[in-house]
Structure 1
Amino acid sequence: MSPDVRTITDADLPDWIRALHTGFLRPPVVSKQEIESRRTTVDWKRAQGVFDAGRCVATYRSFAQRLSVPGGADVAVNAVSNVTVSPTHRRRGLLSRLMAGDLRAAKERGDVAATLISAEYPIYGRYGFGPAAWVTEWDVEVARTGLDPRYAGPAGGGRVDLVDAAEVREHGPGLHERTRATRHGAVDRSEFWWRRNTGAVAVDESPWTEPFYALYRSADGTVDGLLAYTCDDKWEAKLSLTTASVRDLIAVTPEAERALWHFLLSVDWVTRVRTGFRAPDDLLPLLLPDPRAARVIAHADFLWLRPLDVPELLTARTYVTSGALVLDVTDAAGLAAGRFLLDAGPDGARCTPTTRSADLSLDVGALGALALGDESASRLAALGRVAEERAGALAVADGLLRTARRPWCPDIF
């Protein structure tokens, strides 16, 4: 008998969680605390499992998400998460079955695209996803930054205050929504996200380390930035070797972002700062008098995007130049294929099906990589992933689609 694919029931939950842990190489132990937490915080109507001989051998879940696009608007997307296949059932097409059903349901529901954070690069391109936003992590040697050791706080009337988790839960959600309007590629955070990431609720029995929290307030008292960080408090021969690790740093204004970095880099005893996953064009390295003090320790793809509704995806965003392109989009799954005329400019955009000759031909994954403005159509053409059907179309595409700042997704989901 072939394995059975079905929506998870309450009775399936313990076995599904065990399979999830197995797939991610965590101990296959399921606690009552985790069962109860996931039971009340997950939309199980969109969780799938594959069962063979009564045992769960693959997991898959999706949920509603809002994704910010260039210009500050956001769109409804289908976020894919908790994808695993047990090692006993690899290469049997189980993920393909799960993915196909979920993407069809997302298309019927009216979601503009699907998103995911890919654990492995080669997996998701065959399902029409493309890497739409990348991340970089830096290790900063504080003594080499060249920052003034006498720094005592931000100029211009702003201030940085240490606060507790309750204040973060009060100010964080509104601040994050304001931040998403200024940085495309970011996704929404639920109330549960804020409770979990401030220690108010635990999903499992993993130990919780309370971070330090700091808010940046502008001169008028508005909260414009948030920083959460931990310190390892290491010493050797009476010398501090302490590393501060950033858990979260979001800011609405460049002033707030600079102030929070400067604050963290001036904390006594902190000799190194690990930044966590930042946008590749983060302000951090260049705001230092000596940017070489910030050493890149990770640079990788992060948010992957799979278009489902090409016209809606391309008209939701803004464009700083004017131009028109006919895109011939292929899609092996048949969900987003078609030929579309994009006519865009600073005053808005229209994207409609057309029978005109194509300017560019590309698959849906390449369009996913281009949609948020991070990738270059010219580079994808050099890689053989985009075909220029009309001379000059690549230059038009790069002028239209690329953005001044790179997209960034701060959150794993």
Structure 2
Amino acid sequence: MSRADDIDVRTIAEDEIREWRRALDAGFLRPSPASDHDVADLATHLIPSRTLGAFDKGAPGGSTPVVATFRSFPQELTAVGGTPVPADAITNVTVTATHRRRGLLSRMMALDLAAAKERGDVVATLIAAEYPIYGRFGFGPATHTAQWVVDVPRSGLDRRRPVPDDGGRVDLVDGAEVRRLGPALHERVRAAQAGATNRPERWWRVTTGDLRLDAFPYAERFHAVYGGPSGQVEGLVGYVCEDRWGDDKRPGGELTVKSLIAETPAAERALWHYLCSIDWITTVRSGHRAPDDLLPHLLPDPRAARLVLHADYLWVRILDVVRALEARTYESAGTLVLEVVDPAGLAGGRYRLEAGPDGARCAPTDREPQLTLPVGELAPLWTGDESAVRLAALGRLEERQKGAASVADALLRTSRRPWCPDGF
């Protein structure tokens, strides 16, 4: 076993990308070596100065393999009310099975978060593969995701009338049209969706098959858009289908949504009704949706949509409390003094928030706190996805002034839950 001082944690050089990718694949249990094509593609979007590796200098044979991986990239995260805040998006985190429990993740995380704080990022974000890992670094589950399976014949929809009755229309389009129309639509959607992140050009290329990777074979998709009465595209869906037939010659096709975004409720309704009206399709899998998605109640029989997943999704780590709380909007007016506990020393302190529909001001203060909470518990409160009263009942925050948790809920809870449509 290598000693801790035999393992060097540092940023990688460009000529170390292949070795870093090998360790990444090992961490994600992909034993086949990455192709030259995939390594070359990684080199086009990986930022070496924000890509960390743990190099084992004590490995036998004189080699210095990478035994842990970590990288981040710039991202925008939509705060409640639509303001995008700069985020440090963390991904590709692995520790090789032979080198676990040696503090490698802690070392990499500390380096990355310190750099993010220095850059001026308001938050850090990640998608957690396992729940228990990231809370100790100040992250909290700030959005949730849900998935439904729709039993189409039971739904009660009139499948003979799939055309929207609001003057809009649904049309099939190809990948090139999605790349032309999708980015502007997504920008409008994410401006209204707390928890959403930006989609770089590469996202559109990969999800439409314009850029293909050997490690992740592309499944050809159908794409459909909803155009409102004005002709403007208000919704977009990508989906795949499995053609299945029973022994009795009855169709039993299954459709899986890969991505569905809608700017208006009319677009959302039209796209779901369209998907449930396709011939031979008896089952529709929703893919990742918001936990309060409209889908079940767009069906005459909501029980036809069976909930099969409800889980944490986007985790957020607050790096700048003042900017985070001032970036979002508030539906009611109030004042709150928070004591944020952050052992890493990145965002701790006492802060006075004075907020209302006309804006917010937040500043450090020496006043007595009304609530004391770990920085990780601030994240779901900031996105509006959690209740301070509930966290107090769970013992995850301390109410220092009676009724302060209710005051926090009146300020911070939102009418609709935050949602992050994309993984990274």
| TM category, shorter | over 0.9
Q: Tell me whether 1:148 sits opposite 2:158 in the alignment.
A: yes
What secondary structure sits across from 2:186 in the alignment?
helix
Equivalent in the alignment of 2:21: 17
SS in 2 for 1:239: coil
In 1, distance between residues paired with 2:393 and 2:31? 44
Counterpart-to-counterpart distance in 1, 2:343 and 2:129: 23
1:137–1:275 Cα contact (<8 Å) kept: yes
> Which of 37, 49, 65 pairs up with 1:33?
37
Matches for 1:96-245 after TM superposition, within 5 Å: 96-237=106-247, 238-245=249-256
Once the 2 structures are TM-superposed, how far is the Cα of residue 44 of structure 1 from its aligned partner? 2.1
Give the distance between the partners of 1:44 and 1:277, measured in 2 at CA.
31
Is the Cα–Cα contact under 8 Å of residues 33 and 205 in structure 1 kept in the other structure? no
Aligned to 2:318: 307
* 1:77 and 1:111 in contact (8 A); partners too: yes
Shift of 1:205: 4.3
Aligned counterparts of 2:244 and 2:48: Cα–Cα separation in 1: 43
Q: Note the C-alpha offset of 1:41.
A: 2.0
Q: Secondary structure at the match of 1:355?
A: coil
> What are structure 1's unaligned runs of at least 5 residues?
none
Q: What is the identity, as a one-letter code, of the residue corresponding to 1:385? A: R
Moved more, 194-203 or 171-180: 194-203
CA contact (8 A) 1:175 1:225 kept: yes
Match of 2:339 in 1: 328
Structure 2 Cα separation of the partners of residues 398 and 274 of structure 1: 34
> Within the alignment, does 1:371 sit opposite 2:382 as a pair?
yes
Q: Is the 8 A contact 2:69 2:93 kept in 1?
A: yes
Give the distance between the partners of 1:192 and 1:245, measured in 2 at CA.
Answer: 22
Contact 1:141 1:294 in 2 (8 A): yes
Taking the aligned partners of 1:48 and 1:124, their CA distance within structure 2 comes to: 17
* Structure 1: distance between partners of 2:211 and 2:195: 27
Number of residue equivalences: 413
CA distance in 2: counterparts of 1:365 and 1:193, whole angstroms: 29
Change (3 A) 1:366 1:242: same
Q: Is the 8 A contact 2:34 2:215 kept in 1?
A: no
Q: Shift of residue 152 of structure 1?
A: 3.3
Deviation at 1:16, TM superposition (A): 0.8
Quick one: distance in 2 between partners of 1:267 and 1:276?
17
1:262 alignment partner in structure 2 = 273
How many Å separate the matches in 2 of 1:321 and 1:142?
41
Q: Find out whether 1:3 has 2:7 as its counterpart.
A: yes
Contact 2:237/2:257 (8 A) holds in 1: yes
* CA–CA distance in structure 2, aligned partners of residues 27 and 276 of structure 1: 27
- Counterpart residue type for residue 228 of structure 1: G
Match of 1:74 among 48, 69, 84: 84
> 5+ unaligned residues in a row in structure 2: which ranges?
none
Q: In the alignment, which residue of structure 2 is the partner of 1:297?
A: 308
SS at match of 2:125: strand
Give the stretch that moved more between structures: 298-307 or 197-206. 197-206
1:120-155 per-position Cα deviation (integer Å, ceiling 9, x unaligned): 000000000000000000011001101112213001
Q: How many percent identity over aligned positions?
A: 58
Q: Deviations over 1:44-101 (max 9, x none)?
A: 2211100113011000000000000111111001000000000000000000000001
TM-score normalized with structure 1 length: 0.99
User: Which residue in the other structure is 2:328 paired with?
Assistant: 317
| Corresponding residue of 1:402 | 413
Amino acid at match of 1:174: A
Task: Using the TM superposition, name which of 206-215 and 267-276 deviates more.
Answer: 206-215
Is residue 353 of structure 1 aligned with residue 357 of structure 2? no
| 3-state SS, counterpart of residue 268 of structure 2 | helix
Cα-to-partner distance string for 1:247-301 (whole Å, 9 max, x where unaligned): 0000110100111000001111001011111000000011111111111111100
| CA distance in structure 2 between the partners assigned to 1:185 and 1:230 by the alignment | 26
Once the two structures are superposed, the pairs formed by residues 338-349 of structure 1 within 5 Å of their partners are: 338-349=349-360
Asked if the contact 1:37–1:204 (Cα under 8 Å) also holds between the matched residues in 2, the reply is no
Letter in 1 for 2:360: A
